[in-house]
Amino acid sequence: MKFPYGLSDFATLIQEGYFYQDRTDRIPRLEDAGRQLIFIRPRRFGKSLLLSMLEHYYDVNRTAQFEALFGRLAIGRNPTPLRNQYFVMKWDFSLVKAQGELKEIEAALHQHLNDRMAEFAANYAADLPLPIALHPDNALSSLESVLIATRAAGRKIYLLIDEYDNFANDVLMAGRKPAYYEALLYGEGLLKTVFKAVKAAAGGRGVDRVFITGVSPVALSDITSGYNVGESIYLKAAFNDLCGFTEAEIATVLERLAAEDGPWSAADALEIMRTFYNGYCFREDGGERLYNPTLSLYFLKALQTEGEYPRRLLDENLAMDRGKLAYIAQLPHGEDLLIQALDGEEGITIPQLAQRFGVADVLTAVKDQPFMASLLYYFGVLTLTGQGVLGRAILNIPNLVARSLYVERLRELWLPAYEDRETIRQVAETVYLKGDLAPLCAFVERHYLPVLSNRDYRWTNELLVKIAFLTLLFDDRLYMMVSETEVDHGYVDLSLIVRPDMRRFQALDLLLEFKYLSLKDLGLTGEQTREKTREELIALPVVAAKLNEAEAQARRYGAALRERYGLTDLRSFAVVGMGLERVVWRVVA
């Protein structure tokens, strides 16, 4: 079994015997869904492979290859009448250079379209009775020539467009000049005119079907007047797993790979993959969760070739753009949203996902929580997990890979100094190796809480104290670390379970339960609270009661975690934060 990590050419996968999770049974559903479809998924989620599969299925030039490519797949046993019936043209806007002055960007777009149409002319030269004239400075005129030649051949075109929103994402994340984007997509801008030409071509002038992919719907509003015929299918239940792997599919592959006497088990591998890669859902009602396909293949390839888990479970080449979280964090209340997302229990609730908003909105409009949460959903760092009161959408961080980006961003915001980060590493290792919270709590009191107390949060409670510990202890190299782990009909505030492949080292399994008391609850001022010793604070009845409450929960949840993971030395702690002044703890026996 070979795993196609980084490969997106369908023919290569099939002909060279790479693993391919069959999605060809969705072809009839796609045909029934509409003639001009828009499909949105996060980066590195298999969209390019999907387009390649469609290209090979519909291309008239690949008729002779049909049995070799599709014979063993679902669609090969029951093909549709449209198989191998089209001239296929593919545009990929991620290949268009989006830097430089406006004229340079426009020239790059003309060049890309002309290059694709030159390829089209070469591919179908034997079938085209008329020559195709390419106009270097006017790709739309070139397209007109393509349409005339195609109609003369008695054929129709299936147009595939990948990364349609590349320009919009460049503006958002790379600090490009908004004026350039407006000139491309507003008024008679070139990109808007291109989509107007596609719409006209699909009106009986040669293009029969269009399939468009992108990361977000940011640009849809801006091209609507030029292309208002596309049907969005990215939230339809029937296409939730059009890209991505289900848990049953991952489990089946792991069972095939696992050796009876090997160094890893299918059950342990599935637990790791579930924690790090699972959790994505693209249905508003919160349906089946999906595994990130590219990261899953990265993991499976390491198992197959090295016989062990990859040391780093997030390949840096695949890390989601950190600039997306940085963009949200700098917005008013954006930092609050990142903290709320890390909470993990209630999630973020919004009326509904924003499905169409233009770049002008992104750059200038008021950024409320629904707006920010919707963007994070499309960027792949939040996902749908269900529906709340009155059908409101509930969103959560999908998995540990995405969670690490939130932690990283908050660390950078709160403790940017190099010296602080070195201290963080040292105090965290003291907890990992010795189960000693004293240095960590001292650091929280002296460095973290003063920073947090000076920030403009709308609330101060247990969540903020918990997030402080989470960001300091987070280490996905050692731990499967999840906030609000669901066990025994409740939620563990913070659990750090050593990865199965890291158990040969000395790291401890850890559980922390947090409680919070305001200064009003204590009946003390901030200064009085700071002046008391740890022992004096613990002796206060209200603090002792909270520690007892946290300890009882830690004991109950600890028993459940020991059973779930087969743990023999789980270290549990009850932690109480007091205002943003002090933290006390107790080891749970």
Tens of pLDDT, residue by residue over 155-165, are 999 999 999 98
In the structure encoding, which two tokens stand for residue 287, read together? 């349906």
For 10-239, CATH number? 3.40.50.300
Taking residue 129's Cβ as centre, other Cβ atoms within 10 Å add up to 8
- pLDDT reported for residue 228: 78
Strand order in the sheet with 509-517: 479-487, 490-498, 509-517, 570-578, 582-588
Beta-carbon contacts of residue 580 (< 8 Å; ≥ 6 apart): 449, 450, 452, 453, 460, 464
DSSP label at residue 481: E
Phi, psi (5° rounding) for residue 505? -95, -175
- As a whole number of angstroms, the distance between CA 248 and CA 21 comes to 12
Residue 390 gets which letter from DSSP? G
For the chain, the first-to-last Cα distance in angstroms comes to 48
Is 299 in contact with 273 (CB distance < 8 Å)?
yes
Decide: residue 439, CB within 10 A, 0-12 exposed, 13-18 middle, 19+ buried.
Answer: middle
Residue matched to tokens 């940085």: 326
Q: Note whether 132 and 120 are within 8 A (CB).
A: yes
| CA nearest to 321, candidates 273, 374, 375 | 375
Contact status, residue 295 vs residue 44, Cβ threshold 8 Å: yes
| Positions of the chain with pLDDT lower than 70, given as ranges | 171-178, 187, 224-226, 315-321, 356-357, 359, 362-366, 482-489
In degrees rounded to 5, what are phi and psi of residue 276?
-95, -30
Task: Name the 3-class secondary structure at 514.
Answer: strand
The chain-wide mean pLDDT, for the chain, equals 90
List every span in the chain annotated with CATH 3.40.50.300: 10-239
Whose CA is closest to 39, among 210, 224, 288?
210
- Can you tell me the distance from the alpha carbon of 421 to that of 440, in angstroms, rounded to the nearest whole number? 13
- Count of beta carbons in the 10 Å neighbourhood of residue 238: 13
CB-based contact 9:20 (threshold 8 Å): no
Distances from the Cα of 285 to the Cαs of 45, 396, 511, in angstroms?
21, 13, 32
The one-letter code for the residue type at 43 is R
The predicted model scores a pTM of 0.90
148, two tokens = 């005339």
In this structure, what token pair is assigned to residue 286? Answer: 């919160």
pLDDT tens, position by position, 91-109: 999 998 877 788 888 999 9
Query: Which pLDDT value is given to residue 177?
Result: 64
